[in-house]
Amino acid sequence: MQKSEAFEFKQCITIARALGKKAKNLKQLRDSMAVVHPASIYHHTYQYFLKGHTMEYTNDFAQWAGESLENRALSEHLSIVDPYEFKNVEDLRKELLSVMDGYVEKLIQKDAAPGDEFFFHEGFTVVFPAGIRARDLAEFQIAMKVLEKGAIYYHFYDARARHGVDDFSTWVLETLGKEKLAGQIRAVDPFMLSTEGVRARILRAVEGELINEIKEGDAL
């Protein structure tokens, strides 16, 4: 198999810093969200997927609304806001505020129990080499099986937030020239899956491509 430009895997971790802001009800959450630094919005939405999140929710705001405020309708409404549909964090903030405004106006405000307030944080992402590289699709498959979830997050989730497309499919397309496989990887929805779910879907697509390569080789 022809060797290609290697894919250099990177790992990342997020270090959270408390901002000293908290909210005990939806009105306070909404008002703080309107002015908090964009890095905090990013942390509680995009970086939610790195934190071993509960798949019932898709961001910290939805989880808090469901668990601490016990507002199922609001939680579900916030959970369907897909951060990857927005060009930037400010557009995402506006949509989240719009959702909350509807509930602030029509609901009697319920306070969370002491200790269950929403605490605002912002996260700093630290990126470093994972010490793994892949020169062809077979090596890529092996690497995907052993990568830490922080590497999956960085190359699939964070990459989409940074430049609209994941790093895996870009390498598969531009370096290996496999357009169909690249399309299959790009079709994996980061919003609906955990990092392990993303890993499984990509491995399934890669395995299918490798099997096709073997069949084509046998046919020659």
Tell me: the pLDDT tens digits for 98-123? 999 999 988 777 899 999 999 999 99
- Out of 122, 151, 168, pick the residue that ends a domain: 122
Predicted TM-score of the model (pTM): 0.85
Look at residue 160 and tell me if it is in a domain.
Answer: yes
Asked whether the beta carbons of 84 and 161 are under 8 A apart, the reply is yes
- 91 and 39: one domain? yes
Query: Residue 71 corresponds to which tokens in the numbers above?
Result: 């507002």
**Mean pLDDT across the chain:** 91
Q: CA-based angle 115:57:51, to the nearest 5?
A: 70
With cut-offs at 50, 70 and 90, classify the pLDDT of residue 55. Answer: low
Token duo for residue 156: 């699939």
Compute the average pLDDT of residues 59-83: 94
Q: Is 108 found in the same domain as 26?
A: yes
- Buried b / exposed e over 34-65, threshold 16 CB at 10 Å, is eebeebbbbbbbbbbbbeebeeebbbbbbbbb
- Find the domain containing 186 and state its range: 131-219
Same-domain pairing of 152 and 192: yes
C-alpha–C-alpha distance, residues 215 and 220, integer Å: 9
Distance from C-alpha of 153 to C-alpha of 171, rounded to nearest angstrom: 16
The token pair at 55 is 């798949």
The arithmetic mean of pLDDT across residues 16-26, rounded, is 95
- Of the residues 66, 87, 122, which one is the last residue of a structural domain? 122
Residue 23 domain-assigned? yes
Question: What is the model's pLDDT at position 157?
Answer: 93
Gap between the Cα atoms of 112 and 88, Å rounded: 30
Average pLDDT over residues 44-73: 88
What's the number of domains the chain is made of? Answer: 2
The answer to whether residue 2 scores a pLDDT higher than 70 is no
Q: Do 88 and 155 sit in the same domain of this protein?
A: no
Q: Among 122, 156, 171, identify where a domain stops.
A: 122
Instruction: Tell me if 4 is assigned to some domain.
Output: no
